[in-house]
Amino acid sequence: MDLSLSNPTAPTPDCADDGVWLACIDCEWTGAPFDEIRYRCPDCESLLEVRYDDHPTLAEFDADSGHGVWRYADALPVDSGVSIEEGATPLYEVPTIEEEVGVAELRVKHEGMNPTGSFKDRGMTVGVRVAERLGVDRLACASTGNTSAALACYGARAGTQVLVLLPAGKVAAGKVAQASLHGARILEVDGNFDDCLDVVADLADRGEAYLLNSLNPFRLEGQKTIGLEMLEGFRDQTGDLPDRIVLPVGNAGNTAALYKAFRELVAAGELAVDEVPTLTGVQAEGAAPMVEAVEEDRETVQRWADVETRATAIRIGNPVNAPKALPAIRETGGTAVAVSDDEITDAQRALARDGVGVEPASAASVAGLRKLRDAGVVGSDERVVCLTTGHLLKDPDAAAAAGADPEPVPADTAGVLDHLS
């Protein structure tokens, strides 16, 4: 395994294109990035990642060079994307939760403030541009909802056909509506997300479509920018770097992407290894194969055939990026924790009280922080960032169920006053 914080930068192979190449995370294979479509290593089937001959420091990301994700173009495989101004999301103070949890500093990075309402936009702006470069005519993904909404939107913008496979009856209403209005063909699969991914990966291997799930290494490059923004924003607000990042885990793409961002900052000389924030993953109790693997100190996850949670975005039993994310958690001294659906809803309400509206999966990060702080795993002196991944309106049914009920009143002031008293 080549995914170590202390690894020196690899020498640039002959196949590199403008200082960018693909490498297997497990064996010595390297390949040209834009000549052929590849999702896995041709020699050993393991995951691929994008590598670079050069790694900028944070100061080298020039404010004039682009907006949001594209301000970090020098750390990305292409110079520009199919873009609708993704990234540059807010890093909020959450005073009530900070006080209640009892940590030195707490911020919430709200990825729900992206154009389609989730972090997926950061990966799609890169991935859909790479797809154009590869000359594909159909894009596809399996999704618990947000990936399909983002792909439908960015595919529409690029003028490319989009096919999305969704687990029937298990995708929140806002997300299906987005995929639908942006013009994707929506296939409702009689199975869960992992079944959808098996089928769409097969379709992609047969050349039927270009796969834009987080198995695609280019997508994770865009998602790296979450980590870069977190460090810059936290330092601007507090003068320090965060000690810990707590994030919801489904396919573990963000866990892998944040770790890659930090490894590249170590290679750039920006961060010392011991300054890298501790990555802490949170899953729902009903879908927690990563937590199981971390608790049992295993190198691989075992697929859960049956998964269930109110946080439908992370209703995933086979996290495909586990081979990248398990080293991320281990090497940064992190951990993973499972939370109940009620703990998730309670955290969703707490975030809402601090003015931050998120979907259930996002609130898992805060629920996990509460639990780990109660258990003494997170210390009172820690500086923490929680990642919230999707907007409240993604899942209006969950929000309405967690919130207050509307009160029927008559259509006259006297009747309303009467009701209020």
Contacts to ligand F0G by CB under 6 A: 118, 143-147, 214, 248-254, 313-314, 359, 361-362, 389-390
Nearest-approach distance from CB 137 to ligand F0G, in angstroms: 22
Q: Which is nearer to ligand F0G, 252 or 301 (CB)?
A: 252
Q: Residue 165, class by beta-carbon neighbours within 10 Å (0-12 exposed, 13-18 middle, 19+ buried)?
A: buried
Alpha-carbon gap, residue 165 to 205, rounded angstroms? 16
Phi/psi zone of residue 113: left (φ > 0), alpha (ψ -120 to 50 degrees), beta? alpha
Closest distance to ligand F0G from the beta carbon of 333 (Å): 19
Could you tell me which residues come within 8 angstroms of residue 195 by beta carbon, excluding any fewer than 6 positions away? Answer: 167, 189
* Residue whose CB is less far from ligand F0G, 66 or 315: 315
| Chain mean position to CA 71 | 19
> d(Cα 386, Cα 346) in Å, to the nearest integer?
15
For ligand F0G, the closer CB: 16 or 337: 337
Nearest to 365 by CA among 380, 349, 346, 344: 344
Q: Which residues pair with 421 in a beta bridge?
A: none
Q: How far apart are CA 325 and CA 316, in angstroms?
A: 15
Query: Is 16 or 171 the residue whose CB approaches ligand F0G more closely?
Result: 171
**Shortest distance (Å) from residue 34 CB to ligand F0G:** 24
CB of 150 to ligand F0G, least distance (A): 8
Least CB distance from residue 213 to ligand F0G, whole Å?
A: 7
CB-wise, 251 or 318, nearer to ligand F0G?
Answer: 251
Quote the tokens at residue 116: 């389609």
Helix or strand run (H / E) with residue 283: strand 278-284
Least separation in angstroms between CB 161 and ligand F0G:
19
DSSP state of 14: T
